[in-house]
Amino acid sequence: MNASPVAAPAADLAPTGPTIGVLALQGDVREHVAALAHCGAQPVLVRRESELAEVDALILPGGESTAISKLLEVFELLEPLRARLRDGMPAFGSCAGMILLASEVLDTRPDAQHLSGIDMTVRRNAFGRQVDSFEVDLEFTGLDDGPMRAVFIRAPWVERVGDGVEVLATVPDGPFAGRIVAVRQGNVLATSFHPEVTGDLRVHRMFVDLVRDA
């Protein structure tokens, strides 16, 4: 089955941008689709290898990382996705997507899979459970117009970054001050938080520009 564009609200830019897939196995897919459309990209849902092959880039949404990793195997997407990342496909992972993009994951199930898209160690559910969800204003490298509001829901953090990984944001204060919550390595971007739920499109615009440049 071939990928097809997803209906979405009118974009800020003409819809002539890159074709960006949203992994549609589990999680907050609709919010990423809407954000991409508003940023001038052409969003498509990705559930099959044939659909993955047609996109310029991919978003891995928030959700439940172990469930998504299992579904990647069920839908025979795990190895094709790893191959496309090795070949330089741009990708963006939020929350669970960050966990999936890591090269090492702490506090996860032994049978959980990850994609090694970024050389980093991520701790799953590092900020606590659902009841520990919180919001904070972050300074985010590369974004203009001041801090962005970040929403953390059962979020991971990054404990280690390898050479070539740029830290884009850390928690500014409080008990988690200094924890890494946004990173980039080459064409791959990841955030601990959910920029798709706040209406602030700056991270998605950054990613769409990154895809255009790639």
pLDDT in tens, 146-193: 999 999 988 999 999 999 999 999 999 988 999 999 999 999 999 999
Domain with residue 67: its CATH number is 3.40.50.880
pLDDT in tens, 50-62: 999 999 999 999 9
Q: Quick check: 11 pLDDT over 70?
A: no
Q: Quick check: 109 pLDDT over 50?
A: yes
* Angle in degrees, CA 75, 81, 83, rounded to 5: 130
State residue 130's pLDDT score: 61
Residues noted as catalytic = 95, 194, 196
Residue 54 lies in a domain: yes
Residue 73 lies in a domain: yes
Residue 14 lies in a domain: no
State residue 184's pLDDT score: 98
Using alpha carbons, list the distances in angstroms from residue 146 to 24, 30, 205: 32, 27, 15
Q: Would you say 19 and 56 are in contact if contact means Cβ atoms under 8 Å apart?
A: yes
Residue 164 zone, left/alpha/beta (φ > 0; ψ -120 to 50; rest): left
Full domain range(s) for residue 96:
19-213
Q: What total number of domains does the chain contain? A: 1
Residue 82 lies in a domain: yes
Residue 11 lies in a domain: no
**Mean of the pLDDT values across residues 98-105?**
97
What percent of the chain shows pLDDT beyond 90? 79
Does the pTM surpass 0.85? The reply is yes
Residue 147 lies in a domain: yes
pLDDT in tens, 53-95: 999 999 999 999 999 999 999 999 999 999 999 999 999 999 9
**Mean of the pLDDT values across residues 116-138?**
85
* Angle in degrees, CA 106, 177, 197, rounded to 5: 75
Residue 76 lies in a domain: yes
Residue 87 lies in a domain: yes
